[in-house]
Structures are given as structure tokens and as C-alpha cells.
Structure 1
Amino acid sequence: MNSIGVIGVGEIGRALVEGLCGGPGESPEVFLSPRGARTAAELAARFERVRVCADNQEVADRAEIVLVAVRRADRHEALRGLRVGEGKVVVNVMAGVGNDDLRTLLGTTAPLVRAIPLPTVRERASVTVTYPAHPVVDAFFDGLGGSLPVADEAAFNVFSALTGTLTTHYSYLATLTSWAAGRGVPGEDAERYVRGLFQGVGRSLGDESRSLGRLAADHETPKGNNERVRTTWFDDANARALGAVLDGLLADLG
């Protein structure tokens, strides 16, 4: 893998470039589309092997792997007329856009692989779901934290729905901070404590010898504070409501 192209340099595009170019050893050549011009220019200034191309066609012509990371709503305008040779590999990171849709749009016979890279690819610490399995693409994401090929597009969409819960987690932490601040705790102190509390939880997720259910049980004392909050707030009705929201999202993604 000598060259990567990124069409659509938003948050995920930036994270991918930072992960590729910020690690040890020589990075591949990276060609960026002019979409997201400010971010693309900033990345080219930071990293020697990053170039901003004149247009999307130049990206597709110069790169061996072409990552399409434009917003779903913008795909027709952004990709209109783009030609991708059959010797390339196209990685589709657009949420809710299937490979059949993208193949029709591009009119290409090149291999197409869907992927769900997360912002932590910039730290090379993100497991990226892919479909279908492809040796070049899976090796590419292995270098950014790991690849998780799945059996079919239905399974891929389930993982995509799970990704939709990310900002809810951040909002949950912000709500805890606001609750503490509303009861007299200085806001900066509350946020510092909540961040430290859940950073510790995040580190415990690295212990793959214990299931998520086991981790929850190990952090809970019978009739203790954690059990009280879990059983009175995150009760069966709450869990069913979350499941219903995810079912609705999954239906839209399919």
C-alpha cells in the first residue's frame, strides 16, 4: 500500500490522515480532495507526504485505495462524473450508503468495501468494521487499530446503528456534570471528576478476559449505589426504549 486518497476531508477524513501519518515509520502518500479545503490545507502543511489535489478525479487517479468520506446528502453532487479505474480499491465510509448505491453512482467495476472508522483511528486505537472482507482494506485498518470483517451487509448495518449511540454517551456525561454543578459543585471540578471516573471505566474495557456483563457486576455491590441507579433508572422499560430507537435506526440504514 503506497498511496491513499481521501474524498471528503471532514472529521473522519482528518482522523484517518492523522492516524496514517502520525505513527512510527514512513507513511504512505496521501492525496486529499479539495472538499473541506481548510482541513485539507492544514493536514498538508503538517505532514510531508500529504498533498491536496485539484479535484476528486485527481485523487482517484493517483491513489491505490480511494476512501469516500463525503456526507450522505452530498454524495450525488460530490461524486458526479467521477471515474474510478478497476485496478483501484474503493472504501465506502458513508453512513447509510450501501455498496450497490455507490457502485451505481461511480459506474465502476473496482472492488468496493464498506467501513466504519471511528475518530480514534487517529490514535491507531479503533477497531473498524468492514464488509466485505478484503485483504488490502483489512490490512489497512489493522494498521489503525484493527479490522473486524463481518459476514453480510445486514450485520454491517447493526454495527453502524451501534455507532449512532456515541454522542448519547457524551451527553450522558455532560448531564452528570450539570447535575453536580446544579447542586453547588464548581462546574470545572465536576467535569474533571466525571472525566476521570469514566476514563477509568474506558481502560477497564481493555480487559477482554471479562464480558461486559461481568465488568458491570464486578463494579457493583449488592444494594449499593451503582445497583440502585442501574435498577431504578436504567430499568427494563428504559432498555426496551433504547432497543426500539436502535431498531428504528437499523430500519433506516437498511
Structure 2
Amino acid sequence: MQRIGIIGVGEIGRAMVEGLCDGGGTSPEVFLSPRGARTAAELSERFEGVTVCADNQEVVDRADVVFLAVRRQDHHNALAGLAADDGKILVSLIAGLAADDLRRTLVTRAPIVRAIPLPAVRERRSVTVTFPSHPVVDCLFERLGGALPVTDEAAFNVFSALTGTLTTHYAYLATLTSWAAGHGIAPDIADRYVRGLFQNVGRSLGDESRPLHRLAADHETPAGNNERIRTTWFGPANTAALEGALDGLLADLG
């Protein structure tokens, strides 16, 4: 088992530690940066083998695989001048930062892999996109729910753009709840119902024998309520607006 380092212990860093250390079996040694000090201290108290290091260079020195999980706007201050020997493996979780740009910040010729883990890695059920494919990195993400290596950075950026739709989904559900509350339903009851409604939808996504458009059709009755909302609200103009927003994000990521 490789020794794991994480620089930037925010939500994704925490989720990775929990997924690696809370799943039974042998847990890796994990070395955390002091960035996100409160979260890092909590994880080190919770899991045996998790250590908070004095600084980021110590994380790099002690780990075999180092996950870089800082924000794009903070990456230069956090990572500039860090030295990693060629035997290290660096995994960038920094959205919108190309590997070549990151390499110019670091002092290293070590391999750099980009990855897009989601919070569900804590439950070991999130498929993580990687580029380029690396056997050690892909094996780690297989343990956390699955690895999806892609062949080039352009494809990686498409998946990164798709990830940017996650909170829009939550906001959509929150809007449904608010609408129901505006029509006299108690907010907690509306929240409970909407959660249950879409948890069931989530379970249907596990049926990979049907493509998504087929799932949509199978949940509709011709001229029924679902078809009415879909064709009225999510018509051509709304579809074009969503695609335009994704195209704009993809251009920025490239």
C-alpha cells in the first residue's frame, strides 16, 4: 500500500481520507498538510495512521502519491517551489489547471496525473475521471468507487465541465421545495418529499441497461404530467442555454 499525501484538506481531501481509511481492510499511511488545520487535526484523531505534517514539503517528502487539492487561485502560493523527486506520483485535483501549467509551479519531473474525485469517494461509490492513465492512481480510485481514464486533456476538460453542474441539480431540488412551500406545504414536509422522490430516481440510474433518454421516456406517459413539465420548461431554449453555459465553462477550462 502506497503512502498517501494530501495538500489541501477541504471537502474533497476529507472525503478521500474517509474513503481510504474507513472501508475496512488495510488502510494506507496518510500525511496531511496543515492547510485546513481543523479538518486535518480531526482526521488524524479519528484514524490511526493519519498524520498532520509541519508543512507541504514534508507531505511530499513522506508520501509516495501526493494529491494536490488546493483551489486554483491558491495553487501558486501553496505549491510554488515544492520539490518532488522523480519517484513520486503527483495527482492534481485542481480544476481548470493544465498539467503543464502546474509543472511550471513545481520543482519536479515526477509524473502528474489529473483527476476529478467527487465527495462520494468517502462512500467508495464515485467513478473518478483521470488523465493520463496511471496504474497506481487508477488502482487507488478503483478502491474509491472506480476509475475512468480518458485519452487526452480535452476529454478530461469535458468531464470537468459536466462536474460543474452538480450544485445546479441541488438548486433545482431546492426550487421545487420552495415552490411547494409557497403553496402551503410545510417546508420540512416538502423537503422530505422531494428528497424521497429524487432518491428513487437516483436508484433507477443504477439500471445501466437503459440509456438516460430511455429512462426519461419510461417515466413519462404521453400527454401526462411529466411530459408537460419537460416540454414546457425544458424546451429548446432552455436546452440551448444549458449547452451554452457548458460551452463557456469548457472554453475557460481549456
| Same fold (TM > 0.5) | yes
Q: Give the equivalent residue in structure 2 for 1:183.
A: 183
Gapped regions of structure 2 (runs ≥ 5): none
1:212 aligns with 2:212: yes
Deviation, 1:107, is: 2.5
Deviation, 1:16, is: 0.4
2:177/2:194 contact within 8 Å kept? yes
Seq. identity, %: 74
Q: Give the equivalent residue in structure 2 for 1:168.
A: 168
Deviation, 1:85, is: 1.0
Question: Given the two structures, how large is their TM-score scaled by the length of structure 2?
Answer: 0.99
Q: Give the equivalent residue in structure 1 for 2:100.
A: 100
Question: Given the two structures, how large is their TM-score scaled by the length of structure 1?
Answer: 0.99
The one-character-per-residue Cα deviations of 1:5-63 (angstroms, maximum 9, x if unpaired) are 00000000000001001101010000000000000000001001100000001100010
Write the letter of the residue equivalent to 1:98: A
Map 1:131-210 onto structure 2 (within 5 A). 131-210=131-210
2:81/2:107 contact within 8 Å kept? no
Q: Give the equivalent residue in structure 2 for 1:20.
A: 20
Deviation beyond 4 Å, 4+ runs, structure 1 = none
1:233 aligns with 2:233: yes
The one-character-per-residue Cα deviations of 1:113-166 (angstroms, maximum 9, x if unpaired) are 000000000000000000001101000100000000001000000000000000
In structure 2, distance between residues paired with 1:82 and 1:111: 14
In structure 2, distance between residues paired with 1:127 and 1:137: 13
Deviation, 1:108, is: 1.0
Q: Give the equivalent residue in structure 1 for 2:84.
A: 84
The one-character-per-residue Cα deviations of 1:155-188 (angstroms, maximum 9, x if unpaired) are 0000000000000000000000000000000000
Q: How many residue pairs are counted as aligned between the two chains? A: 254
Write the letter of the residue equivalent to 1:156: F
Deviation, 1:104, is: 1.1
2:129/2:150 contact within 8 Å kept? yes
Deviation, 1:2, is: 2.5
Deviation, 1:216, is: 0.4
Q: What SS does structure 1 have at the residue aligned with 2:67?
A: strand
Deviation, 1:253, is: 0.2
